[in-house]
Amino acid sequence: MATTKVQEFQLIEGTQLQITVTGLPNGSSVRAEFHLKNCTRTWILHWGCIYQGNNNWYVPSEHSSKQGALQTPFVKSGNDYVVILELRDPRVHAIEFVLKDGSHNRWLKQHNGNFRVEIPWNDLHPQHRIPKNLIERRAHKIWDRKGRPQSSAREQQIDYDNAIRELQSELARGISLDDLHANSTVPVEKEVNSEPHQTMNQLYHRKHDVQKWLQKYAEPININGSVHSSVLAELSKRSIGEENVVSQKIFHVRNYEIMVLQRDVKGDCRLWIATNMAGPTVLHWGVAKFSAGEWLIPPPDVLPEKSKLVHGACQTHFTDMSSREYSYQFIDINLKRGGFVGIQFVIWSGGYWVNNNGANFVVNLKSVASTRGKPNVDGKYILKWLLDEISEREKEAERSLMHRFNIATELTERCKDDGEGGCIGIMVWMRFMATRHLTWNKNYNVKPREISEALERFTNSMEKIYLQQPIKREIVRLTMALVGRGGQGDVGQRIRDEILVIQRNNHCKSGMMEEWHQKLHNNSSADDVIICEALLNYVRSEFRIDAYWKTLKANGLTKERLASYDRPIVSEPRFRNDGKEGLIRDLTMYLKTLKAVHSGADLESAIDTVLSPSKGHHVFAANGLSPKLQDLLSLVTRLVREENTDSLIEKLVDVRIELHPALRAPRTRAKDLLFLDIALESCFKTTIEKRLISLNFNNPPEVMFVICMVLENLCLSTYNNEEIIFCTKDWYRVSEAYRPHDVQWALQTKAVLDRLQLVLADRCQHYFRLIQPTARYLGQLLRVDKHGIDVFTEEVIRAGPGAVLSTLVNKFDPSLRKIANLGCWQVISSADAYGFLVCVNELIVVQNKVYSKPTVIIASKVTGEEEIPDGVVAVLTPSMIDILSHVSIRARNSKICFATCFDQNVFRNLKSKEGRAISIHTKSTGLLISDGNNYDVSVRHIFISSAPRGVISKGKKFFGHYVISSKEFTDEMVGSKSYNIKFLQERVPSWIKIPTSVALPFGTFENALSDHSNKDVAHKIAAFKDSLNRGDLTKLKAIQEAILQMSAPIALRNELINKLRSERMSSLGDESGWNRSWMAIKKVWASKWNERAYVSCKKTKLDHDAVCMAVLIQEVICGDYAFVIHTNNPVSGDSSEIYTEVVKGLGETLVGAYPGRAMSFITKKTNLKSPTVISYPSKRIALYSKSSIIFRSDSNNEDLEGNAGAGLYDSVIMDEAEEVVVDYSREPLIVDKDFRVRLFSTIAEAGNMIETLYGSPQDIEGVVKGGHIYIVQARPQV
């Protein structure tokens, strides 16, 4: 039974404080109740926790922090005022506190010190006392983790105390004593065994709750001249015109909107400031001439009407402006050509001041000087005014690093509120500097102390952004990895002082050392770290000069660069042979001094900063860092020295895991923690790259453990890391399921790797969209060489944590394919072929092209939505395409070879043969490809016979009703998609459900278009069709846009609403619901003119004008899974097998161009209860919809013989579906075999039954909801 401890204090004016500390029954928590009796004032408890052996105040991790303490107000409870605290951290030894008088702002202490109450955990939980033998075993493990050093009695006691704290912490997390006993066995000393299961046991032990590492940030509104429009912005632009707008910025404060438009009017800078505030409103403002932080009185010649100068500012009254739909106020300020860099303001309205969340509104002004000759580059994240100013100030920045960092600090402060573009611009500039594309020093002498202080200010500015704007943390991290830490006081001065000591102690006051001394005094830089390392290697190698030059060259320093300094280094080092030990000692210490300033990402320096008595103690105390982290950092330091690769990899990740909570909510000296994490990540990458050299990719357990480490590291490094976390959880799952040579295990593992490849590719594209436009624009302004610009983002990606994962995936994939018997090809459409190789980046780029000779397309990217060009006999791609995607179906229908290549070497070899002829023969194991020197007659016949056959379709007429029920469906009124629904409703058993349906029949579009309300639209479409018939394909888009402008005839609207009501389908709801449904209908009609469908008609000689579009309207089944069945296996052609693909959520991810592969299985018709999985899912997202309606295209040319029309036209959901990132780690389809077999058997049985009803192979789409099967459409299988 838990015990209680009571403590009382007599306070002023007869007030009594009683504190009751109680151990809770769970054995892992303590409750402290503070009761104020006889109290007449409102008091606040100002408190913090004290850890064993430490007098600093800590804040429990479940609370937010405020200067190392919390303030909790007392709450009235009966006659007392009460505060109740619950503590879960067994390291808490005591609570210290003072009382604050809330009404008089005074403090109450105990004898001028803090009040204190002890928290004796073991006394409060006697039944949870930890057995001594358990503590001793844990202490042994701690000693073992440290490498079993010789320990003094004091050090042994520290290990013992740490063991108690670890065990108490684990008990607090709910781990039982029995479990602790079971895991406490001291390992027997023996030689490490390299058997696979040993590594896998290690992997099981590493399983973490990675969900806690989730970092997910919404994309902010971009404020760099490309913001989302608003009514206020539109009306303002309508008033003043858009042609001269240079930039736009919008602020939202409460219900107010404030917009600032900057215009260039004949060279003058004019500001249009508008707001939706009502009543008398005054702008209180000032200008900035040199930096954004200034507030200067505007000169008299720029003051607008209704202005007056008052108390160091200008006050200007807004002018009312009204339209029929909106009222607002504005001020028009002409700043002329005053060269101002910005303005600041607040607004007086409604009797109080309106500001930007406690700060002034700040608008940076873009220079309106001529931009002639500047590169024409655009992108969402480009902040052009910043990049232009960087270019203008580069001449000043190249004088010294002090100038550069001071300018960078100023610009960072000015652009910090301008979206991500500002941070990206600063990062790109710093990287151009770090990679030596820019000059570091030119005719200027600066002290190391001044550089160090400038760098300190810059990194402080970065730290502020990191803390206040989480969305920018990824870019801040990239930036800080490029620069040093900097520092105030003697940090930089020591660079200058200590080189003199080295020269004096080692008798080297001339030659190279004196040249270096002069360089250090003139302009110290990161190059000095490399020079010092080169000197150390020179001395350690018994003064071999090649060791010196080799180190310099490896780090990019050449003789020419050394000679290019303002204080050149042209001599080689020469030292006395008897001075080796002294030189090594002094240069090693000096290297630490240099790294402390210039190498923020150096691990030794970063650890030293965090652990040093002067700084580190403060960093640890203020951020609530654990003693365990200190132990791990010490262990990592030792492992780095010993070059113990395997242990180091694991411990580096362990340190980052322990550090991660503090990085997400740091309290003080955040940059020290951030530099430490960057250094840990850099060391991890280097160590893993070394490990790859000896990694045996034919030993899955060994590889999987390394991939596990890399995934955990990537989770910790990535912002918006939800999908990486899901992949890591999935990796834990397949690792635990490992069985040697097991095909199903290999298929599941390959699916995880396939998804990881998609995630990494997507992140690469994200970086290119994010960074490369800025790199190109700024690089051209700064005259960086073209190669440096072109590879900029590529180098950023290669330096990141994902690059090594990509290498691991690519090298492990062949081993998995071998176990799974997959080969390097997946044949989607089986056909022999002969043709000439043509390489393209994307198939969609050439889909309209006509090749005059048989052509094999090698396409780096295929989405699944494309048309295959005329003249193409084969398409080969590395893209993972669903077998039932639109392009796959069309390839099989046209007898075109279509296959995915999984082996990059094979694919590269094929691309190298571009222009040459090859022969392709399909085999059961994949493709057999050979050089096509001899023309294969049979293959040639295939090419000729696949030419279009001239399918003809008849037009359809309108039967007088805009909407009909499923009972009224006929093949003259609707397409096969709708007609088949009626067929199935009348024949399938009750356990197969068919959704209620209505339709807009053939002719509805044409009749609606002829309505008087659409007269203008009809004229537009007719004109566009004339141009289209003359070959102008750009008019396809124009026709679609015109259709979206159609108005609904009143009769159509009324019929649809009434029919949905009579069929008891979902209501369209209010006016907004009707508008969304009408837009969806128009989008379906407009899809007749999408480029893919139009090109397909031309290829098959189909009369496009004869295509009629009905619209099938169904309730959306918000199911758990969607599936597509082909009752005749389309891959093998085996009519005895049913082939099915399944995805989570809506089926659009299956039939649309969504990356990744669906889960697929085959079922023998003679044994429907035994489905065989042939691929596991790698789809990245699932689509889910609320209760809604879907409008499906149902044309008269989708299922004609000889024409694969399925999927050419669009189906549109009235309400946009939600994209959800999929977590497969606990997905029943994958982890529950019994559930999978039952569900897949039921789906296969439904497919087999529908095939029997039609008497021919069927292509069936369906949904699974709550275990029930819904069939939403069926058509003859092509």
214 pLDDT more than 70: yes
Q: What are the CA-CA distances from residue 392 to residues 341, 538, 1257 (Å)?
A: 13, 42, 70
Which residue has 């039974």 as its token pair? 1
Fill in the DSSP letter of residue 252.
E
Exposure letters 233-244 (e unless 16+ CB within 10 A, then b): bebbbeebeeee
Q: What are the pLDDT digits (tens) for 220-272?
A: 433 333 333 467 777 777 778 777 788 888 888 877 889 998 988 888 899 99
Q: What is the CA radius of gyration of the chain?
A: 36
Share of the chain above pLDDT 70, in %: 88
Residue 189 pLDDT: 34
The pLDDT > 90 percentage for the chain reads 47
Superfamily of domain 825-945: Phosphohistidine domain (3.50.30.10)
Tokens 């989480």 map to which residue? 470
Task: Name the class of domain 964-989+997-1114.
Answer: alpha beta
Instruction: Return the pLDDT at 378.
Output: 58
DSSP 58: E
Q: How confident is the model at residue 1017 (pLDDT cuts 50, 70, 90)?
A: very high
Q: Is 1258 helix (H, G, I), strand (E, B) or coil?
A: strand
| 568-573 average pLDDT score | 94
Instruction: Band the pLDDT of 618: cuts 50, 70, 90.
Output: low
pLDDT at residue 163 above 70?
Answer: yes
pLDDT of residue 372: 44
- pLDDT at site 110: 82
Given the candidates 1.20.1540, 3.30.530, 2.10.260, 2.60.40, the CATH classification of the domain at 4-128 is 2.60.40
Tokens of 980: 């088949």
Q: Which residue has the higher pLDDT, 234 or 109?
A: 109
Q: Over 60: is that where the pLDDT of 834 sits?
A: yes
Q: How do the residues of the chain divide into helix, strand and coil, expressed in percent and rounded to 5?
A: 45, 20, 35
Taking the C-alpha atoms of residue 556 and residue 530, their distance in angstroms, rounded to an integer, is 9
Least confident residue range of 164-168, 515-519, 650-654, 664-668: 664-668
First-to-final CA distance of the chain: 74
- Write down the pLDDT at residue 886: 76
pLDDT band at 943; cut points 50, 70, 90: very low
How many helices and strands in the chain, by DSSP H and E?
Answer: 41, 43
Most confidently predicted of 581-585, 1148-1152, 1157-1161: 1157-1161
Q: What average pLDDT score do residues 793-808 get?
A: 91
Buried b / exposed e across 1190-1226, counting CB within 10 Å, b at 16+?
Answer: bbbbbbbbbbbeebbbbbbbbbbbbbebeeeebbbbe
Number of CB atoms found within 10 A of residue 577's CB: 7
Q: Which residue has the tokens 């995915």?
A: 900
- Measure Cα distances from 685 to 163, 652, 653, 802, 920 in Å: 32, 10, 11, 9, 42
| Distance in angstroms (rounded) separating the CA atoms of residues 882 and 945 | 26
The answer to whether residue 1229 scores a pLDDT higher than 80 is: yes
- CB proximity list for 1009: less than 8 A, separation 6 or greater: 1017, 1018, 1021, 1046
Instruction: Compute the half-sphere exposure of residue 1000: CA atoms within 13 Å on the CB side of its CA.
Output: 32
Phi, psi of 937 (to 5 degrees): -65, -40
| pLDDT tens figures, 1236-1258 | 999 999 999 999 999 999 999 99
**Per-residue pLDDT at 443:** 84
**What is the predicted pLDDT for the residue at 622?**
56
Q: Mean pLDDT, to the nearest integer, of 900-925? A: 87
pLDDT above 70: residue 574:
yes
Q: What's the confidence (pLDDT) of residue 656?
A: 95
Sequential DSSP letters for 906-923:
HHHHHHTTTTSEEEEEEE
Taking the C-alpha atoms of residue 389 and residue 367, their distance in angstroms, rounded to an integer, is 8
Say what the pLDDT of residue 379 is: 63
**Higher local confidence (pLDDT), 598 or 1264:** 1264
Lowest mean pLDDT among 157-166, 255-264, 408-417: 157-166
Which of the pair, 180 or 6, is modelled with greater confidence?
A: 6
Average the pLDDT over 480-487 and give the result: 88
What pLDDT score was predicted for residue 150? 64
pLDDT surpasses 90 at 1207? no
Looking at residue 616, what is its pLDDT? 46
Same fold, 231-364 and 964-989+997-1114: no
Q: Are 244 and 264 in contact (CB under 8 A)?
A: yes
Least confident of 270-274, 1063-1067, 1123-1127, 1244-1248: 1063-1067
Tens of pLDDT, residues 653-668? 999 999 998 887 766 7
Give me the pLDDT at residue 874, please: 95
Q: What is the model's pLDDT at position 125?
A: 54
CATH domain 231-364 topology = Immunoglobulin-like (2.60.40)
Domain ranges of the chain: 4-128, 138-180, 231-364, 370-484, 490-598, 825-945, 964-989+997-1114, 1116-1186+1214-1276
Read off the pTM: 0.71
* pLDDT confidence of residue 396: 92
Sheet strands side by side (includes 1137-1144):
992-993, 1268-1276, 1258-1265, 1121-1126, 1137-1144, 1159-1164, 1172-1175
Non-local CB neighbours of 896 within 8 Å, separated by 6+ positions:
829, 831, 833, 868, 872, 873, 874, 875, 890, 946
State the catalytic residues: 886
Top pLDDT among 1203 and 904 is at: 904
Tell me the average pLDDT of the chain: 85
What is the rounded distance in angstroms from the CA atom of residue 751 to the CA atom of residue 748? 5
Place of tokens 């075993």: 137
pLDDT score of 1157 more than 80: yes
Residue 393 confidence (pLDDT): 92
Running DSSP on this structure, what letter comes out for residue 80? E
Rounded to whole angstroms, the Cα distance separating 153 from 217 reads: 50
CA angle 46, 51, 56 (to 5 degrees): 55
CA angle 933, 935, 940 (to 5 degrees): 145
Please tell me the least confidently modeled range out of 363-377, 548-562, 1046-1060, 1190-1204. 363-377
For the residues 68-84, what does the mean pLDDT come to? 84
Going by pLDDT thresholds of 50, 70 and 90, the confidence category of residue 191 is very low
What's the CA gap between 969 and 975, in Å, rounded?
9
Lowest mean pLDDT among 61-75, 202-216, 375-389: 61-75
pLDDT for residue 26: 58
CATH 3.30.470.20 is right for the domain spanning 1116-1186+1214-1276:
yes
Q: Which is more confidently placed, 475 or 127?
A: 475
Q: Write a three-state SS string for 687-752.
A: HHHHHHHHCCCCCHHHHHHHHHHHHHHHHHHCCCCHHHHHHHHHHHHHHHCCCCCCHHHHHHHHHH
Give CA–CA dist 1072/1214, Å, rounded. Answer: 11
